[in-house]
Amino acid sequence: MAGDNKTPLRVLITGAAGQIAYSLIPLIAKGEVFGQNQEIILHLLDIQPMLGVLNGVNMEISDCAFPLLRNVVPTASVEEAFKDIDYAFLVGAMPRREGMERKDLLKANVKIFKEQGGALDKYAKKDVRVLVVGNPANTNALICSKFAPSIPKENITAMTRLDQNRGMAQIADHIKTRVQDVRKLVIWGNHSNTQFPDTRFVEVSKDGNWVAVANVQHDAKWLKESLIPIVQKRGAEVIAARKLSSAMSAAQAAADHMKDWFHGTKKDEWVSMAVVSKGEYGVPEGLVFSFPVTVANKQWKIVPDLALDEFAREKIKITTTELEEERTEASAATAE
């Protein structure tokens, strides 16, 4: 794979004229994701009616004068967008509109991610690494992978890092510490309001040592009863306040996800990524499910042998059931 700093990485962002991409592009172009010495060629894909807006975004990219940015390819052509890419942020998706049933949303996105899976299969490098951001992200990643049979299933992931970041920020605020002094919050399952933010393994840095959150002054009831719905409903809360969905925080989470995938996780640190299940923790094989992972040499590995109490098992079961239903609905939509 390209990435020796001298060879530019080809990085695709879909939905490139949209809000998340507007915040994500500078993070990538400045070296926040792939490193301060790694040159980048950006492939920016959007639909034909958005090309005028994309042209404006491209003007702004030029005006930023990013030293690491070798070239920009703004296009509505799937072939041109996916050609020889090393990394992909699949941001573009049909958003859920008022009154829209989940099955309607799935049906619309099946079409998009079926096409993009086919494009990955046909045009991208075979070791391409893909992050699906567009919702419903887990099932969109599943569909994408189904139609990209030549790309390893391990190379197509979905984003639950936003949920992890949200939860860690809440915990840091709750126990009055810095967010970088909190680690090992686990997000299990779907990037939806059935996800399970699991605080049982959380550690906090105190006097230079990492200690279990149980050993730090905090409200245990708040962690178990309040934090979970706060994280589950945070996206809706942002929409209610901003009248627009989370864009800046989603872009930051996408950058964090890909940065850790590219550079590896720190020692004794876990991150949450939605990845293909091989039956770990009783999750049905083939579902794209959020697990705690570690990353080394650009390969993720699910953290093994974590104890699940009854509360955790019940929460994981709820989010698993939802993902199985989505898989069934999406499969039916692909057959139409």
Whether 191 sits among the annotated catalytic residues: the reply is: yes
Q: Measuring CA to CA, how many Å separate 97 from each of 52, 94, 216, 279, 331?
A: 24, 9, 43, 34, 22
Ligand-binding annotation for 134, yes or no, is yes
Residue 166 labeled ligand binder: yes
Q: Is 178 annotated as a binding residue?
A: no
**276 appears as a binding residue in the annotation:** no
Q: Return the closest-CA partner of residue 272 out of 204, 211, 191.
A: 191
Q: Which position among 43, 191, 218, 257 bears the catalytic label?
A: 191
Q: How far apart are CA 190 and CA 291, in angstroms?
A: 10
Phi, psi at 43, each rounded to 5°: -105, 120
Mark out the alpha helices in the chain (DSSP H runs): 19-29, 51-64, 78-82, 102-123, 137-146, 161-174, 220-221, 227-242, 248-263, 310-335
Q: Reduced to 3 states, what is the DSSP secondary structure of residue 276?
A: strand
Tell me whether residue 109 is annotated as binding. yes
Long-range contacts made by residues 216-221, C-beta under 8 angstroms, separation at least 24? 216/175, 217/175, 218/174, 218/175, 219/174
- Residue 55 annotated as lining a ligand binding site: no
On the CB side of 241, CA atoms within 13 Å amount to: 7
Q: Which two tokens stand for residue 151?
A: 């790309």
DSSP letters along 117-166, please?
Answer: HHHHHHHS-TT-EEEE-SSSHHHHHHHHHHT-TTS-GGGEEE--HHHHHH
> What is the distance between the alpha carbons of residues 239 and 102, in angstroms, rounded to a whole number?
18
325 by Cβ neighbours in 10 Å (0-12 / 13-18 / 19+) ranks as middle
Annotated binding site for substrate: 96, 102, 135, 166
Annotated binding site: 46, 96, 102, 109, 133-135, 166
Annotated binding site for NAD(+): 46, 109, 133-135
Query: Which sequence positions are flagged as catalytic?
Result: 191
